[in-house]
Amino acid sequence: MFLPVCKQDLIDRNIEQVDFVFVSGDAYVDHPSFAMAIISRVLEANGYTVAILSQPRWDRIDDFCEFGEPRLGFLVSSGNLDSIVNHYTVSKHKRDYDYYSEGGKTGRRPDYAIRVYTQLIKKAYPKSPVIIGGIEASLRRLAHYDYFKNTLKPSILFESGADLISYGMGERSIVEVADALNSGLDIKDIIFVRGTVYKTKNKLYIPDDAIILPSFKEDKEDKITYAKSFKIQYDNTDPYSAKTLVEEYDGVWVVENPPQYPLSQDELDNVYELPYERTYHPMYKEGVPAINEVKFSLAINRGCLGSCSFCSLNFHQGRIIQSRSKESIIREAKQMINDPDFKGYIHDVGGPTANFYIKACSKQDKFGACVNKKCLFPKKCQNLQVSHKEYLDILRALRNLKGVKKVFIRSGIRYDYLMYDKDDEFFNELVKYHISGQLRVAPEHISDKVLKLMQKPSFKLYEDFTKKFYEINKKNNLNQYIVPYLMSSHPGSELSDAIIMAVYLKKNHIHVDQVQDFYPTPGTLSTCMYYTGVDPRTLEKVYTAVNPHEKAMQRALIQYYKKENYDLIKEALLKAGRSDLIGYGEDCLIKPAKFKK
């Protein structure tokens, strides 16, 4: 049964006053790939009633009054994506499709959805607690650079007027907050819950061992000060070592508690085996496109030990791998097989990184992830456990289930981690059984200078990986290929670096259809570099392409083979002093202009 979505649903279920109203910028999909579904079902499992207010109108307060005032408060999220990222491309053009809305239609949520929703709730019910969460709140919990407005913005607590942030994955913290509210505690007195952020004027509400960050005013006045502040935040994202962080706003302090502890395997199993309907609500006659990729996929882990500079997982899910049991995964697969729409194909078995199934090392159980040391960068840590045995055991069990024709892996594979595994058993079976003709991996760039800033491995390791991949294909008489994900305009990437990448791609006859132009989203090292012009880890200057035209040139170079990119490529080559690449030679990217057709 779906959770209530209208007043009539409450009447039908004899609910006089709901405990929480969950307001979301996404359409209602009751599937564990959607945070709204997980948090709502976790609360329900702990005895609380939750109503879903999905994609309310924001030109009036009427929709926010649909269920009346909840007994304990409102939960507000922009949805599975930051609302600005959902609405706009990196070139700040409006997107023409929304995977999280009925029929893919756009315009169903406002820009800065959390701020807009919270302000309307406070207008309708001034005294009702508002707890914000999800990716938009999580990554904007302290001062942050906003690419769309091109400015440093304050904590989302200030902009929205919300009472509390539940950041990260949130299952533990939201139940603890709910229990505190249920006991009669005022929302302003809920202050020491892990995984939450609150604001206070009372210094007694600040722990003695808290780290005092530069104030928002100081951050605004000096980018280097902000870079230093960000580095402290970056180093305090592990639940075992993180300190409380405090940021001051003219006599008001925003206080970030350390993250919630990782869920145990049993707890994670329980979260994924709650009674989800596993599809979108039937009120959506045109369907919700986001369900298509995940309906027959299995999420088996969370967290990522990769620490890529441009990824927000460090701030949101953390670096400690949490994995479900094989038994839980198989139970979900059997449930999936019984779905009348299942055609025999499991689309994915993975998570943020598919082949990170085991913890990085045994020390993490006691000490957490290392603060000043990464598992895979700049080289593999000597303590890193590298094994695919348990993951492979799960894949084999899934392949042998009655009704399953094929099991694919479509979430990211870390090729460096795979190459460090001296047992080729997984690599062989990956190629033989789990690829649908092509394997997508993310070298991101060719230039080791840029890769270093990305905290990605040397490109030589990617070349070794591709060589081995094609050898295994040949051995098995398969004709599969690798599709590389590449990124243009990442901090540190100059035109010369983009040209190096273009020459490599041409030499190896690689056509890249999709290029990700670097998108400065809140909560990443790379975004801090983009805004401040320095690497916050070292404070060394970093070249950054901020001019839209230069960004377009870098992107065009990667897609050197497209005729429509000719003028941009020529301009880039001349600007970089590489006219030698205009001509008929093997390495030349374009022909002279007079031969252009």
Give 3-state DSSP helix, strand, coil % of the chain, rounded to 5: 35, 15, 50
For the chain, what is the domain count?
A: 3
Q: Tell whether 464 is covered by a domain.
A: yes
C-alpha–C-alpha distance, residues 322 and 317, integer Å:
10
Q: What per-residue string of b and e applies to 142-179 under the rule 16 or more CB within 10 Å gives b?
A: bbbbbbbeeebbbbbbbbbbbbbbbbbbbbbbbbbbbb
Question: In the chain, pLDDT over 90 holds for what percent of residues?
Answer: 94
Residue 515 confidence (pLDDT) above 90: no
**Residue 387 binned pLDDT confidence (cut-offs 50, 70, 90):** very high
The pLDDT assigned to 513 comes to 80
Mean pLDDT confidence for 505-534: 93
* Residues 287/102, Cβ–Cβ less than 8 Å: yes
Residue 593 confidence (pLDDT) above 90: no
Instruction: Report the phi/psi class of residue 33: left, alpha or beta, with left for phi > 0 and alpha for psi in -120 to 50.
Output: alpha
Q: Tell whether 239 is covered by a domain.
A: no
The pLDDT assigned to 597 comes to 47
Nearest to 320 by CA among 360, 349, 284, 291: 360
Q: Tell whether 243 is covered by a domain.
A: no
- Predicted confidence (pLDDT) per residue in 84-118, tens digit: 999 999 999 999 999 999 999 999 999 999 999 99
137: helix, strand or coil = helix
501, 411: one domain: no
C-alpha–C-alpha distance, residues 402 and 392, integer Å:
18
- Predicted confidence (pLDDT) per residue in 163-191, tens digit: 999 999 999 999 999 999 999 999 999 99
Q: In this structure, which amino acid lies at residue 176?
A: E
CATH classification at residue 397: 3.30.750.210
Q: Tell whether 70 is covered by a domain.
A: yes
> Which one of 436, 455, 486 terminates a domain?
436
The pLDDT assigned to 314 comes to 86
17, 139: one domain: yes
**Residue 596 binned pLDDT confidence (cut-offs 50, 70, 90):** very low
How many Cβ atoms from other residues are within 10 Å of residue 444's Cβ?
25
Mean pLDDT confidence for 522-550: 96
C-alpha–C-alpha distance, residues 113 and 85, integer Å:
11
- Predicted confidence (pLDDT) per residue in 340-382, tens digit: 999 999 999 999 999 999 999 989 988 999 998 999 999 999 9
C-alpha–C-alpha distance, residues 177 and 196, integer Å:
9
End-to-end CA distance of the chain: 61
C-alpha–C-alpha distance, residues 490 and 516, integer Å:
10
360, 505: one domain: no
Residue 62 confidence (pLDDT) above 50: yes
Mean pLDDT confidence for 23-28: 98
461, 346: one domain: no
446, 588: one domain: yes
The pLDDT assigned to 481 comes to 92
16, 90: one domain: yes
CATH classification at residue 497: 3.30.750.200
CATH classification at residue 50: 3.40.50.280
The pLDDT assigned to 119 comes to 98
45, 187: one domain: yes
463, 594: one domain: yes
Residue 595 confidence (pLDDT) above 80: no
Nearest to 505 by CA among 454, 579, 568, 556: 556
Rg of the chain over Cα atoms, rounded to whole angstroms, equals: 25
419, 515: one domain: no
Q: In this structure, which amino acid lies at residue 330?
A: I
User: In sequence order, what DSSP letters do the residues of 317-361 get, joined into one string?
Assistant: T-SS-EE--HHHHHHHHHHHHTSTT--SEE-EEESSSTT--S-S-
- Predicted confidence (pLDDT) per residue in 319-344, tens digit: 999 999 999 999 999 999 999 999 99
Q: Tell whether 91 is covered by a domain.
A: yes
Nearest to 569 by CA among 542, 546, 596: 596
C-alpha–C-alpha distance, residues 263 and 257, integer Å:
17
Domain span at 373: 296-436
C-alpha–C-alpha distance, residues 466 and 427, integer Å:
12
448, 376: one domain: no
User: In sequence order, what DSSP letters do the residues of 420-478 get, joined into one string?
Assistant: H-S-THHHHHHHHHS-SSEEEEEEE-S-HHHHHHHT---HHHHHHHHHHHHHHHHHTT-
- Predicted confidence (pLDDT) per residue in 271-283, tens digit: 999 999 999 999 9
- Predicted confidence (pLDDT) per residue in 300-312, tens digit: 999 999 999 999 9
> Which one of 391, 411, 436 terminates a domain?
436
Q: What per-residue string of b and e applies to 232-256 under the rule 16 or more CB within 10 Å gives b?
A: ebbbbbbbbebebbbbebeeebbbb
C-alpha–C-alpha distance, residues 28 and 2, integer Å:
9
408, 449: one domain: no
> Which one of 436, 459, 476 terminates a domain?
436
Kindly give, in sequence order, each residue whose CB lies less than 8 Å from that of residue 545, ignoring residues fewer than 6 positions away: 489, 493, 494, 551, 554
445, 508: one domain: yes
DSSP character at residue 29: E
Q: Tell whether 222 is covered by a domain.
A: no
Q: Tell whether 363 is covered by a domain.
A: yes
C-alpha–C-alpha distance, residues 16 and 28, integer Å:
22
**Residue 512 binned pLDDT confidence (cut-offs 50, 70, 90):** confident
Q: Tell whether 69 is covered by a domain.
A: yes
